[in-house]
Chains A and B, each alone.
Chain A
Amino acid sequence: MNLAALHERASLNQQVRVFFAERKVLEVETPALSQAGNTDPFIDSFSVNTPHGLRYLHTSPEYPMKRLLVAGAGDIYQLCKVWRRDESGKRHNPEFTLLEWYRLGFTWQKLMYEVADLLHTLIPHLQKPPRFCSYREAFLESVQLDPHLATEAELSACAQAHGIAISGEMPVQAWRDLLLTHCVETQFPTDQLTFLYHYPASQSALATIQQVDGQAVAERFEVYLGALELGNGYQEQTDSAQNRLILVQDAHTRGHDIPVDERFLAALEHGLPECAGVALGIDRILLCRMQRDDLKQVIAFSWEVA
């Protein structure tokens, strides 16, 4: 346990609250245990037995916060613990702190600048302005391959050419994920933020989709410092039918082990205001602020000893 990290975390949390107070963004709290969970196929929830049935620890406060937006809460943020099963490593702890916020009437581009402002406040040694790079540009630069057009065979050959040893077959998106984590992210500069945007539409989650250069891409961004991903933001999909379609498809891909959040979907039918939202990993930001490389150094008691 690192006492300096406790102090840094306390002061970081305070800076976050000052940042949002100055911008008139309201701090909110939503339940950590919900009757429905996250249906994203690549995120696993912990479940808890309660006298009122199985409940799920939230993997992000997205659904209830959007219910608050529908109810007229205005600009809101939340700083809370979230849980993701089986995510454990130097830069993952199954329990971690997330900062999530929504801005009404913001575009995702405007939100990227707000994220940069906040991160430059929280990580004072960041001096250079952020760089912005589309998913396609990033792949073209680091692996000389168009991620939208490359076939499974081309992606797999590219991985092999870059010395990645992996066996078996995978769908196209998994190959993109492999190249992204092993080759693309590792090329990002370590002294400035990188905003990566325009993900393939298959990676849209609940973001809107637009056509760019003949490709359907998600109006979604991730922010990195070096190879470390710090957050994920969207132009939020406000179409309730589209939201339902994605959740139902995801639940189907998962095998229906997690119930679809009907309260969230019902709320959206009343009209989610046009907004952009983002979630940032506070523990990782603390890692950058303290220039450390293992989450164990910034968490009071990591998963193994919790």
Chain B
Amino acid sequence: MATYGSNDLRVGVKIILNGDPYTVVDSDFVKPGKGQAFTRARVRNLKTGRTIEQTFKSTETHEGADVEDRDMEYLYTDGENWTFMDSSSFEQLEAGATAMADAVKWLKGNEKCVVTLWNGVPLQVTTPNFAELKITQTDPGVRGDTATGGTKPATLETGAVVKVPLYMEEGEILKIDTRTGEYVSRVKA
């Protein structure tokens, strides 16, 4: 496995810190005129998503984290695990609820996702940026009120709840930005 010196901790480099895989989000080199140099970095824990600040001595070396991003298709869930398939090797993997996190809200089946693996185990699932999902429940629409920009909650077929314009009705299909969880547009059926 690769090792990195503190000077090599550029944005995107993945290292092991206290046993967990981290990715460097931001780093800067600091050094007094005549003294010890340090690398001040912000690093994100790939298991928990938490970002922390960490300072490294210039002489330290860091073990690289064996992290890999794979394009995989979401197949199904048994409620506890979510199964993904590598579309070229047909290999299947199961991701747990921690790795799924918010991704669960946007998946109904056959979406192409990016599964981040650490030592072969799914750490994190990233869904496509946009999802098209049907409204299964919302209060009745208010006809004619298309201009005021008011919103109401709507429950989608995956169970996610998003804010939609007042005139949207049950059965309609919406385009949602999965990164923000916001309604983008109506999709013509």
Contact = CB atoms under 8 A, between A and B. Distances in A.
B159 to A, nearest CB: 38
A182 B31 contact: no
Contacts of A203: 34-35
Interface stretch (A120-128, A149-157, A160-168, A269-277): A160-168
Contacts of A92: 29, 31
Interface residues of A, number: 30
A160 B28 CA distance: 20
Contacts, number: 73
Interface in A194-218: 199, 203, 205
Interface in B52-92: 52-58, 60
Interface string B104-143: 0000000000000000000000000000000000000000
Interface stretch (B36-44, B148-156, B163-171, B173-181): B36-44
A173 interface: yes
A177 B35 contact: yes
Contacts of A43: 34
B33 A229 contact: yes
Interface stretch (A5-13, A67-75, A81-89, A139-147): A81-89
A165 B36 contact: no
A166 B7 CA distance: 16
Contacts of A181: 30-32, 38
Contacts of B32: 177, 180-181, 222, 229
A86 B58 contact: yes
A90 B27 CA distance: 9
A104 B36 CA distance: 31
A173 B32 CA distance: 11
A170 B27 CA distance: 21
Contact of B55 (A88, A89, A164, A222): A164
Contact of B31 (A42, A166, A205): A42
A222 B56 contact: no
Contacts of B36: 42, 170, 173-174, 177-178
Given A42-B36, A163-B53, A181-B38, A89 B60 contact: no
B54 A174 contact: no
A232 interface: yes
A170 B58 CA distance: 12
A261 interface: no
Contacts of A137: none
A40 interface: yes
Contacts of B58: 86
Residue from B28, B33, B38 having most chain A Cβ neighbours under 10 A: B33
Given A88-B7, A163-B53, A173 B29 contact: no
A176 B36 CA distance: 9
Nearest to B41: A165
B35 A166 contact: no
Nearest to B17: A167
B11 to A, nearest CB: 12
Nearest to A181: B30
Contacts of B34: 40, 42-43, 199, 203, 205, 232
A166 B30 contact: no
A168 B57 contact: yes
Residue from B34, B38, B53, B60 having most chain A Cβ neighbours under 10 A: B34
Nearest to B35: A177
Given A165-B53, A165-B54, A166-B56, A173 B33 contact: no
Nearest to A231: B33
Nearest to A220: B34
Contacts of A42: 31, 34-37
A271 B29 CA distance: 39
Given A88-B7, A166-B57, A182-B55, A174 B35 contact: yes
Given A166-B55, A177-B32, 17 more contacts: A42-B31, A87-B29, A89-B27, A89-B28, A89-B29, A165-B54, A168-B60, A174-B35, A174-B36, A178-B38, A180-B32, A182-B38, A199-B34, A203-B35, A205-B34, A222-B33, A232-B33
Interface of B: 7, 27-38, 40, 52-58, 60
13 contacts: A42-B35, A89-B29, A90-B28, A90-B29, A165-B52, A165-B55, A166-B55, A166-B57, A168-B57, A178-B55, A182-B38, A182-B40, A203-B34
